[in-house]
Structure 1
Amino acid sequence: MNATAPKPSHESADFPRPPGPDELGLRVLREHVASVYAAYNASVFVHFGLGAALGAAMYLHQPRAWVLVWMAVHLSLGVFLFLMPRWHPDVPLADTRRWARRHSRTVTVVGAAMASAPLLFISPGDLPVTSVITVVIIGSCARAMQLLWPLKPALYGYTLPMMLSLIVALAWQGDAMHFFLALFSLGYLLFTLRVGGQQHKLLTDSLVLRFENEALAGQLGTQIAAAERASAEKTRFLATASHDLRQPLHAIALFGAALENELREHHGGRNAQQLMRAVNALGSSLDTMLDVSRLDAGVVTPAIAPVSLDALFRSLNHMFAARAEQRQLQLRVRASGLWVHSDAQLLYRMLSNLVDNALKYTTRGGVAVRARARGGVVWIEVFDTGIGIAPEQQERVFEEYYQVHNPGRDRSQGLGIGLSIVQRLSRLLQHPVRLKSQTGRGSRFRLELPAAEAVAMPDAGLAAPVRTMGVRGDHAAPAVHGRILLIDDEAEIREAMTGLFRAHGLALDAVSSEAEAAELLGRPDAHERPFSLLMCDYRLCDGENGLDAGMRLQRRFGLQAPLLLVTGETSPDRLQRVRASGIPVLFKPVNPAMLLRALAELAPGPLAH
């Protein structure tokens, strides 16, 4: 093989890596710098305002020229700090350490400038001045701890010069009072530095945790997006594969129907019947998968109305009685006279899936279906005496393709989608489904539905089987006459359709594109022998679709003929668009009897050939 499998490192390259220690440290330091610069103006104003007030008080107390010089130097430093460049959020991350060092040096200079005050102003026997200086210095350190603890070098650079100068100046006086104040100031300094260090550690740890969480959230988001892309790609692949499988299967079904009709009296007729049974079984599997796509796409809208459970149960008995008898099982469907609020077709699909599943996994005994009223709620229960479901598997049986005791994927036991559809329909109809099962003793599925009052219905309607999603009709098709225009880009399907319709006396003109259809509709005989129906495949060549093509042809030529879509699409977005159009649609592979019956409903009665 020329291709090689990608290395795991290539796969992981799509996901953002957590920041390394150096980058993480820079991001944390950046937050510290941003925090101290956020209060830059206020801190400079307060500090030098206190310095000016202190200088003015000292000058009034001792009017000397050097005090004015001290004040002038101090205020000049404040003006310089106001005018100097400052850190801002647009500063590159790589420059963070430089700005941190710059700010630490700046506040160290400011602290050193203020540190001159105790040495200059504290003197023996002048306790008021000592008290003022001590209060101003300790107050400045307290404010510094609140503003500068995110940046430890700045905190130390500001507080240590002032406090050490104060302690030395107090201790230098030699008397007991000043010595006590020196010890108190030393204790305060140690307490301030300890608290500042603890606050700094807490902030740093919280920032590290925050950035690590952000990195993990980013990784998770990227992986979720990758998983969603993979899921979308899988959905597109399955939709394409389903469409490509349905196309030839649709042609096989049409050719097979024509062959079965021709060999009806021939010795090979049995083989043709078996072929059609196999084709119908494969079509049923694809229909089941289509049901899942339709439910996931949200194109199934329930029509809630009062539903007679007795009519529904008679349909169930009619559908499954022969199969239960063939497997030598008892099927008991009990009449109750109850009515519920639901969608008759969707509820029938839920119950038929449950009964089908019960018969599939029951080898002796039987299956029972009953309904009971519980206040304003009706319980519909499906019991079986089958193999049962272990507790650890009871949640998984509602997953797609999961089957108990079928690891070999025996096709006779279906695809394992039936209960998944039941769960989807349960959510859609808001009919909770409960499961109780015991291994070797059987299972009970219960649906809970709102009760309804009985309404008058014709007797014929009560006994009629319910048509549901994916139920494939195999009854004889009624006679249909008329001229039909088919647009399908698959030559085999055009040929198969032509043979099938010809066998039933239908005039069919089959073309491969909208352009060919427009040419045909523009001929004079199109007015003499108008078309009674326009039938289009949804996916045409060159990215066109039959829905748009058919509607354009109807507008362009003023066609009164209804439009019928025949498609193998299972893509949710396309199914939603088809549903929104309101155009009737059949899904490939279409059972020939169902196709002819749809034609009879859309274009009934004998029309001109």
Structure 2
Amino acid sequence: MSVQPDASNDPSADHALGQRVLREHVASVYSTYGVSTLTHMAFVVVFGSIIYSQLKDPSLLFWLAGLLMADIYVFFTPRWNPSRPVRESAYWARKISRMVTLVSMVTAVVPWLIVPHDNLPMTSLLMAVIVGSCARAAQSLWPLKPALFGYTMPMSLGMITALAWQGDGLHLFLAAAGAAYLLLTLHAGVGQHKLLTASLMLRFENEALAARLGEQIAATERASEEKTRFLGTASHDLRQPLHAIALFGAALENELRDRPEGRNAERLMRAVNALGASLDTMLDVSRLDAGVITPAPQPVQLDALFLPLNHTFAARAEQKQLQLRVRASGLWVHSDPQLLHRMLSNLIDNALKYTARGGVTVMARERGDAVWIEVRDSGIGIAPEQSGRIFEEFYQINNPGRDRSRGLGIGLSIVQRLSRLLGHPVQMHSRLGRGTHFRVVVPAVSAAARELIGALAPAATADAATGQRRGPAPVLPGRVLLLDDELEIREAMMGLLRSHAIDAHAVADEAGAAAALRQASGEGRPFDLLLCDYRLADGADGLDAGLRLSQGQGVTTPLLLITGETSPDRLQRVRESQVPVLFKPVVADSLLQAMAEVAVAR
């Protein structure tokens, strides 16, 4: 028995597939091996006894003994079982084909012993038995064509020739009927064999495809994890020196504020801040993926939200000779003002990047219980085949040279994440060469709620929309302890803090910090704030160390964590600890503001 699989470019794969199919055929045939053999032996005894009792021909006893011996040999000979290796399938297919052929050849003798007696009832019984055996073989042996042919043809041909040998019309008719039945049986068996073979080959091919797909998915997941680890490590390693540069630059800018050299310090800080903004954009993706950002939905007046957006992008639009139209609507929506501001800011920023002439329009329309906030541009548009990729990280249209002025290609990815976080669907419609418009669907605030919040001061609403805070200058802590294992950052931080008249002390490890806290407590001059880096030397965890130190010495010292980590798992851990955190590189004003807030909260 051989299986002929479809030709392919990999002969070894075709051979392996053929071996698996053949093994399934062999397993199917051998699954009824024992029961079929015992049943056949019992039937031979009954059938032989009936025939002998009617014909009294001693030769029938010799035939009966020979057939029983063949059945006994078939039953006790070693047989296939599932533990047999696949490579032996062809051997077992040949073996069972030879055995069933042997049984059939012994059976083929009996028509020559019965038909010549011209006993029509016995002849009819013989034909019924042989036809039934062929039918059974067509059902159980068609997985192996040699076995099917080997079992059906000898006994059928023996019966047909014995009938035809008689020469009279009745026997010739019976011989023709037997021949026709044999042909139909073989034809049906071959057809079933082909269907089964094709089905098994398709099944195994699908399993192979599924296995390869699983391997590809696993490889993709590993690559994604490796990419995440690489970006996390690279981001941290970039943030460390940039954080030091920002601190040194802020201290230098403060010292040179009223001197001519101060202009260079200002230019330096603008470059540092631009680089920090790029890193913060990547950090936003990690924070969103980590679930660190929790929305705080509230009624938001869109006009108060649109005003700062107009101020932010008007100068840039004018520089590109574009018209920026931000239309007032008088509508209120229910959303997180800061996160919605970020979504619209990214959409407007993206529209301005890809618009060379014309302009950008920002508008809002009420539609039932929702408000459609739309950002329309007259830019280059998006081809249909690219529309599914624009929300991918780092994907940019028509920017093969990675022009830095067009950003990193993360803005729309952040929009998509914020859309899921806030539950504000984002819809996009675009025509290539004609422009694009994005629509953000936001829940509207009911009329009753508008009346309730109508007394809010416009200035307070605008501050809520953009997250701005107004008030007196922050009161900085008097004494600060810094725990950071990098010398450059300790020196930079000391320079910045001391330039603002803060008594700062820096240490490199937890033991040094504990000693400094004990000394300060003994002198009666405890520290007002503990600044701690997240990643310390030798893999020490700054969060755990900071929590231990802040609760030590019988005095609670406010803790402010500073980190360059972007790993979602670690960001989630920081969030769960509820410790205030700043992300490197830290802008001096943000650092001082956070220090004042943590110290006051004490």
For residues 156-181 of structure 1, what are the alpha-carbon distances to aligned partners after superposition, in whole Å with 9 as ceiling and x for unaligned?
Answer: 22112211111122122222211211
For residues 480-531 of structure 1, what are the alpha-carbon distances to aligned partners after superposition, in whole Å with 9 as ceiling and x for unaligned?
Answer: 1243332222111111111111122323332222233234344473673333
- Matched with 2:494 is 498
- Matched with 1:198 is 191
- Matched with 1:245 is 238
Q: Distance in 1 between matches of 2:523 and 2:100?
A: 96
Please give the secondary structure, in 2, of the residue aligned with 1:452: coil
Residue 130 of structure 2 is aligned to residue 137 of structure 1: yes
Please give the secondary structure, in 2, of the residue aligned with 1:36: helix
Residue from 485, 488, 497 that aligns with 1:489: 485
For residues 462-497 of structure 1, what are the alpha-carbon distances to aligned partners after superposition, in whole Å with 9 as ceiling and x for unaligned?
Answer: 0216457xx9x9999623124333222211111111
- Matched with 2:568 is 572
Q: Distance in 2 between matches of 1:23 and 1:441?
A: 56
Q: CA 1:592–1:146 in 2, change beyond 3 Å: closer, same or farther?
A: same
Q: CA 1:88–1:518 in 2, change beyond 3 Å: closer, same or farther?
A: farther
Q: CA 1:515–1:66 in 2, change beyond 3 Å: closer, same or farther?
A: farther
Q: CA 1:568–1:63 in 2, change beyond 3 Å: closer, same or farther?
A: same
Query: Mapping of 1:119-130 within 5 angstroms?
Result: 119-130=112-123
User: Identical aligned pairs, as a percentage?
Assistant: 62
- Matched with 1:155 is 148
Residue 577 of structure 2 is aligned to residue 581 of structure 1: yes
Residue from 41, 47, 52 that aligns with 2:40: 47
Please give the secondary structure, in 2, of the residue aligned with 1:398: coil
Residue 516 of structure 2 is aligned to residue 520 of structure 1: yes
4+ runs deviating over 6 angstroms = 473-477
Q: Distance in 2 between matches of 1:439 and 1:196?
A: 60
For residues 57-80 of structure 1, what are the alpha-carbon distances to aligned partners after superposition, in whole Å with 9 as ceiling and x for unaligned?
Answer: 213323566545554554454455
Q: Distance in 1 between matches of 2:103 and 2:550?
A: 86
Contact 2:521 2:553 survives alignment (8 Å): no
Contact 2:111 2:126 survives alignment (8 Å): yes
Q: CA 1:440–1:172 in 2, change beyond 3 Å: closer, same or farther?
A: closer
Q: TM-score, normalised by structure 1?
A: 0.88
Residue from 421, 437, 447 that aligns with 1:444: 437
- Matched with 2:4 is none
Please give the secondary structure, in 2, of the residue aligned with 1:478: coil
Q: Distance in 2 between matches of 1:149 and 1:583?
A: 73
For residues 203-249 of structure 1, what are the alpha-carbon distances to aligned partners after superposition, in whole Å with 9 as ceiling and x for unaligned?
Answer: 22332333233323322322332232222222221211111111000
Q: CA 1:144–1:524 in 2, change beyond 3 Å: closer, same or farther?
A: same
Query: Mapping of 1:398-413 within 5 angstroms?
Result: 398-413=391-406
Contact 2:63 2:106 survives alignment (8 Å): no
- Matched with 2:253 is 260
- Matched with 1:333 is 326
- Matched with 1:3 is none
Please give the secondary structure, in 2, of the residue aligned with 1:332: strand
Residue from 181, 197, 203 that aligns with 2:174: 181
Query: Mapping of 1:108-507 within 5 angstroms?
Result: 108-324=101-317, 329-362=322-355, 365-389=358-382, 393-438=386-431, 442-453=435-446, 454=450, 455-456=452-453, 458-459=456-457, 460-464=459-463, 466=465, 478-507=474-503
The letter of the residue matching 1:56 is: S
For residues 397-454 of structure 1, what are the alpha-carbon distances to aligned partners after superposition, in whole Å with 9 as ceiling and x for unaligned?
Answer: 4343344454443323322322222223223333222333456654322211222223
Q: CA 1:151–1:328 in 2, change beyond 3 Å: closer, same or farther?
A: closer
Residue from 9, 31, 37 that aligns with 1:38: 31
For residues 554-591 of structure 1, what are the alpha-carbon distances to aligned partners after superposition, in whole Å with 9 as ceiling and x for unaligned?
Answer: 46655522332211112223223323333222111011
RMSD, aligned CA: 2.9
Please give the secondary structure, in 2, of the residue aligned with 1:20: helix
Q: Distance in 2 between matches of 1:440 and 1:21?
A: 50
Gaps of 5+ in 2: 1-9
**Cα offset, 1:372, TM superposition:** 0.8
Q: Distance in 1 between matches of 2:89 and 2:471?
A: 80
Q: CA 1:438–1:223 in 2, change beyond 3 Å: closer, same or farther?
A: closer
Q: 196-205 or 342-351: which moved more? A: 196-205
Q: Distance in 2 between matches of 1:555 and 1:71?
A: 98
**Cα offset, 1:303, TM superposition:** 3.1
The letter of the residue matching 1:292 is: V
For residues 295-338 of structure 1, what are the alpha-carbon distances to aligned partners after superposition, in whole Å with 9 as ceiling and x for unaligned?
Answer: 33443333334333233223323433444455555443333232
Q: 196-205 or 178-187: which moved more? A: 196-205
- Matched with 1:541 is 537
Q: 40-49 or 239-248: which moved more? A: 40-49
Q: Distance in 1 between matches of 2:569 and 2:191?
A: 57
Q: Distance in 1 between matches of 2:440 and 2:43?
A: 79
Contact 1:18 1:215 survives alignment (8 Å): no
Q: Distance in 2 between matches of 1:335 and 1:320?
A: 16
Q: 581-590 or 45-54: which moved more? A: 45-54
Please give the secondary structure, in 2, of the residue aligned with 1:248: helix
Gaps of 5+ in 1: 1-16
Q: 320-329 or 487-496: which moved more? A: 320-329
**Cα offset, 1:389, TM superposition:** 4.6
Q: 294-303 or 193-202: which moved more? A: 294-303
Contact 1:389 1:438 survives alignment (8 Å): yes
Q: Distance in 2 between matches of 1:526 and 1:156?
A: 102
Q: Distance in 2 between matches of 1:559 and 1:127?
A: 115
Contact 1:309 1:337 survives alignment (8 Å): yes
